[in-house]
Structure 1
């Protein structure tokens, strides 16, 4: 079957002339290209639905200007977990200017400047000109608002909190924002109030301090009581909040700073901080020290360093598409812009203490002006609440490998590494064997969500979930294992290999090795099992079979010096004990099957296509390509949007037209209720839907470049009438830079040249 690859592709080894493979190339796309995708508005917004996102990876804000002269932003942080394990906003900050610089009919511009990670608002002209820069320091935990005015103005900065009193979430729709705590038999969900701290001079400090927690009861419900005594509650006494200060403004009220007379320039700094298991006073002392240390640094120098971080980020990798066809120019522009904005939003939220929330990330806003079912909720609302669904959480992270945004993957890996002890205990308690399994839906500390595990346990054995969608759905362990292995293949990070990958993946493999019996042929019989969430009853589901095959095959490639030989023996044995990949036939056409036996359809996924993505068992240049394509063409669910991954799978199969169409649909879709073009969704989840943009990112990358084993496939699903200039990362700490014009490759460079990596170029494109 390898002859198929030879017929479809022309291979180029690293023995070709240095015309294509040489020193690190200079970026062929000037940094100023990002300016084309800046978001610009020429009028103030009506409300928070017209906000722009910004962030430094841990702190996120939504910024908008209103026609009354106010500049407002919501403040969020990745680890602002409440007593109910909801990810809350820290608060809302408003900067008001008098006289109003945003007078109707006057000049106004608000622009997200991508290359600088800065939101600039300009209004008026001549002697009336006002310039406002809002940025979240890429290197420090502070939001800066810098205002300059040609003429003296009066300024006021204030903090607003909507959690001023304890209140019960009783609206059934809003209660879904506390997913897992709602439902039959659940206790009341109470949102506790924030605390405004006094006695800090001209600084305003406010915080949310968790005086109670759901953690202990959550563990007791799941039979994990013994974990409680030796471990610290991650919610109890967690404190998150902010400090607002300004050298040019003085405190004139509990939550207000006002200018000392009229000023021509001023700055407001808002520092955010989270601390676990501590008092409010300890939190405040730490935050005061943080503000003091950062305050001693030059703001001008910090802004230059901030710009350098963002410029380095944009230069790290890029994709820039063009078309000479007038009919395609808007479509292509939106693809370019969508890719840039989604990557920007991941960078704004991907370097914190908790992973990115798929259902809105840090950028949820209130829905007071959102018409329909979700109208009237505060900015803490997000559908599906605080838990992490692996099916949803994973997609932004698969997009980070080719873009080289490796530091943003670490919070996800850390969450799973930190949860390993409780997952090992759960495996032992529930099933009496070693290893670790991870729930599909879990709190950040690693347990089932209460409502999914189930409160009425009379007829359920320990460990069995009431929720049928996830009862035997443990795919997350296998897929994060492959993601960790890919991360290692890209970075060659031996510390990560030793401290995270091997401890986590070894225990996951132990679970799969020990959990099911072998049949008369010595093969594992996966029963009971599921095929993703879609088929609640399955025997020998395809995702498990191809997943274990792929993960163990990649594990066997790890250096002998880094891996215990007994582990390699186990991994090789497991491969030999896998059942055959299930096949079905329909109208004489052979296709992959979701499982050997399957029933109880209850969701809208195509489990059989996991053989293509994420597990890469079938695809361009691999055996049985037509089998995989037949499977794809006959899939049950063909839609795109949200977490649907058909665009990615079309790219892997070399189905150029289909991949381009679905990717374009995603990037050319917007939520008209919101002003910012990348506020995708809500689709299946919430706005901005991080899966929607991430799927399109991954698909676009895989249309250009696919990696597996020691081979790179270049342009495997790329439209000939789209020119492109790109730089993407590949395994071995390398990058590939390529420029295509009119169906010809004008530039192709790979650096550094490590290992035996081979580039295979689609014959559709000439050298």
Structure 2
């Protein structure tokens, strides 16, 4: 059954890195108590400025002007996951007790700070902004890569001109403060990149998330009054603040912060939207909002859970496994913040990043010697172990303020984003898919038009590193590029010819339908277009080259392509062919397709190239592709037939081929094997039934991240918090427990016999499975619908007297 979880701190924090996350309704908060003051960063999904940056809303600061909170006799800060609240209780030197309760509405982008005191005190609440004036962003040396300020607006990384980062507006009345950023429609990244890529005659009719966008909010504190503005500096970043002051009384009072992100014809319409949002708390009782939010979280936690109790000989390992169980829940908690969000949850920090100068590798207290040894042995370099140690000890210096994150702004990196969304299937968090899936629906027209303009054929073309409006980011398309380059080419080598993640998200939508049993009619145009592109594109390229598009067996020749970002100028890469095969098989499973569609899908399925094998050091293995020119990165397309496409693995034919692939041919260059960030080693091990290796990776993957909040991992390849790190760990743990493939439920396919576990997860066909394991035996098993009991396969002993079926 579900285990309650809280995190308690009994001392204040040193800085924003030591913050607690909380969120809901598409906003995320970092909350911490530092040097006698309560501070809150808050960020809203979809807040994209004219340059497609993704800034925070601001910072809130609450201080006491009556007594000194820097000297306390008692301090307690508690994050309650079940209620999604942060409770802070302090007692000062005069024995005055003050309580704060922070919670976020899941239905609206609103958060609240309730407060009370044992004695009347005078409190100050300040809204702080570091965007109080226009700032010049100078064009930067293109030879410096991610260590530049421009990486925060990644589309402009190589932009050869200076930019003006436009300021916000901040106003104040008697008991409230209001701020907003109104995008300058004459200076939009959308227009620059549409013109750059040949869309100047079409852009007025396409999805544009920047035009007429206003984001900001309002701080309302009844009983407080406006005072003065002030200036200050936090961690090297200057700010200006507007302040309200008022008494803290024994009865409960509150501060309400309303966030609003709207595309409106004028600023007065945005103010009306904010006032309407504030009005919801007059029309509907405050306590009803609070109860509805707590009810949402209660339902969220009842959907699924995983609770592990290890029984290893080593007490340290048992403690680390307890961290795994706990941090799985904390990461899932952060995923829940984006319910009703305007935009997909970002892989590089989500909604809870903190000051960039604090981001960097931290000392890792875990014993990673076994993992280092394995990686060093696999790495084809003489100094593999030294490189690993150097990478882990790297310190990153990127002190560009609170808004900055690497790979930042409104760009989408689908190859990373997918790792946040795959685990939502088994956790049953189907409502959290909506922002990501809707983005594909919103941008479909643009990506189909790109195929027409660039290649003259149909089908959508979603590249890697794509902007929120559907075009490749300007820096990868090339701000300064040879005139001979066609519109379909990108100057960035990693992303050129790389379209396979549109197949993976299309497959994810089909799996979403299979798991949730909900309609995907609105997403079918994208799914079909994503697959259609490959037939249209490679027929077009073959015709241009004067060669046949199909081989002697009638199979499409997919060339030149890319095995993920790694295997370049590839022919028939297996991540592409597996994606196409699984999409058409999934479409054929749908009940509401027409006879004409069925005939087309069956024909397309027959023309997909078969999976490619190769001999590698004497072993038959899965190949990345039929052939390729070079290896450009460290992804492993040869393992995609194992996951996400599950054509190989435990319970399926060819398991030994897949294991030999993992053991012998996934180390062609240094860095392909790793537990960090988006690396999927643990997921592959789970599907191959490699229990001991999966255990090692899981402990490294979901162990404490080295910061005060234990699920703030990274930066890995991305940022801190590295949500790819959490997503891959979450998937691995789920897949170690249960896999749903080829109509079979493979139960505990990669689970240590000496780890007790109690879990509830979701599976295909609308199935839920509850299972409890003790001492290597399944002592409780509940499955719904009960007919799926016959599909279960497991090597664990069943104590049949305790096995039940859900009615």
| Structure 1: distance between partners of 2:344 and 2:703 | 27
Structure 2 CA distance for partners of 1:756 and 1:105, relative to 1, 3 Å: closer
Are 1:138 and 2:106 matched, yes or no?
Answer: yes
Shift in Å, 1:586: 2.1
Shift in Å, 1:537: 1.6
Of 518, 521, 529, 1:507 maps to 529
> Which aligned pairs between 1:115-154 and structure 2 lie closer than 5 A?
115-124=82-91, 128-154=96-122
Root mean square deviation of aligned Cα? 1.9
| Unmatched runs of 5 consecutive residues or more in structure 2 | 141-146, 230-240, 361-394, 539-548, 801-807
User: Partner of 2:719 in structure 1?
Assistant: 686
Structure 2 CA distance for partners of 1:262 and 1:597, relative to 1, 3 Å: closer
| Structure 1: distance between partners of 2:498 and 2:112 | 44
Shift in Å, 1:514: 1.9
User: Partner of 1:79 in structure 2?
Assistant: 46
Are 1:700 and 2:737 matched, yes or no?
Answer: no
**Aligned residues of 2:106 and 2:339 also touching (Cα < 8 A):** no
**Aligned residues of 2:206 and 2:445 also touching (Cα < 8 A):** no
User: Partner of 1:448 in structure 2?
Assistant: 472
Of 667, 680, 686, 1:645 maps to 680
User: Partner of 2:572 in structure 1?
Assistant: 540
> Which aligned pairs between 1:32-43 and structure 2 lie closer than 5 A?
33-35=3-5, 38-43=6-11
Are 1:460 and 2:485 matched, yes or no?
Answer: yes
| Structure 1: distance between partners of 2:555 and 2:693 | 37
| Structure 2: distance between partners of 1:628 and 1:344 | 34
User: Partner of 2:587 in structure 1?
Assistant: 555
| Structure 1: distance between partners of 2:679 and 2:10 | 35
Of 148, 152, 169, 1:195 maps to 169
Shift in Å, 1:762: 2.4
Q: How many residues align?
A: 725
| Structure 1: distance between partners of 2:202 and 2:788 | 45
Secondary structure of 1:336's counterpart equals helix
Shift in Å, 1:369: 4.9
| Structure 1: distance between partners of 2:248 and 2:466 | 52
| Structure 1: distance between partners of 2:195 and 2:70 | 59
TM-score (structure 2 length as normaliser): 0.87
Cα offsets for 1:670-718 (capped at 9, x unmatched): 1x4x421111111101110000011010000000011123221110000
**Aligned residues of 1:238 and 1:275 also touching (Cα < 8 A):** yes
Secondary structure of 1:226's counterpart equals coil
| Structure 1: distance between partners of 2:595 and 2:38 | 61
**Aligned residues of 1:234 and 1:277 also touching (Cα < 8 A):** no
**Aligned residues of 1:248 and 1:260 also touching (Cα < 8 A):** yes
Structure 2 CA distance for partners of 1:457 and 1:534, relative to 1, 3 Å: same
> Which aligned pairs between 1:15-94 and structure 2 lie closer than 5 A?
28-29=1-2, 33-35=3-5, 38-68=6-36, 70-94=37-61
Cα offsets for 1:592-625 (capped at 9, x unmatched): 1111111311111111001111111111111111
User: Partner of 1:225 in structure 2?
Assistant: 200
Shift in Å, 1:95: 1.3
Secondary structure of 2:47's counterpart equals strand
Secondary structure of 2:121's counterpart equals strand
User: Partner of 2:285 in structure 1?
Assistant: 298
| Structure 2: distance between partners of 1:546 and 1:344 | 32
| Unmatched runs of 5 consecutive residues or more in structure 1 | 1-27
Structure 2 CA distance for partners of 1:375 and 1:510, relative to 1, 3 Å: closer
**Aligned residues of 2:310 and 2:322 also touching (Cα < 8 A):** no
Shift in Å, 1:96: 1.2
Of 135, 140, 148, 1:167 maps to 135
Shift in Å, 1:280: 2.0
| Structure 1: distance between partners of 2:450 and 2:358 | 44
Of 692, 699, 720, 1:664 maps to 699
| Structure 2: distance between partners of 1:252 and 1:209 | 26
Cα offsets for 1:554-595 (capped at 9, x unmatched): 211111xx1122222222222221223111112321101111
Shift in Å, 1:192: 0.9
| Structure 2: distance between partners of 1:459 and 1:359 | 35
**Aligned residues of 2:25 and 2:105 also touching (Cα < 8 A):** no
| Structure 1: distance between partners of 2:676 and 2:588 | 36
| Structure 2: distance between partners of 1:431 and 1:755 | 47
Secondary structure of 2:491's counterpart equals coil
| Structure 1: distance between partners of 2:580 and 2:795 | 30
User: Partner of 2:329 in structure 1?
Assistant: 340
Secondary structure of 2:628's counterpart equals strand
User: Partner of 1:414 in structure 2?
Assistant: 438
User: Partner of 1:374 in structure 2?
Assistant: 397
Greater RCO, 1 or 2 (C-alpha within 8 Å, sep 6+) = 1
Structure 2 CA distance for partners of 1:156 and 1:576, relative to 1, 3 Å: same
| Structure 2: distance between partners of 1:291 and 1:307 | 20
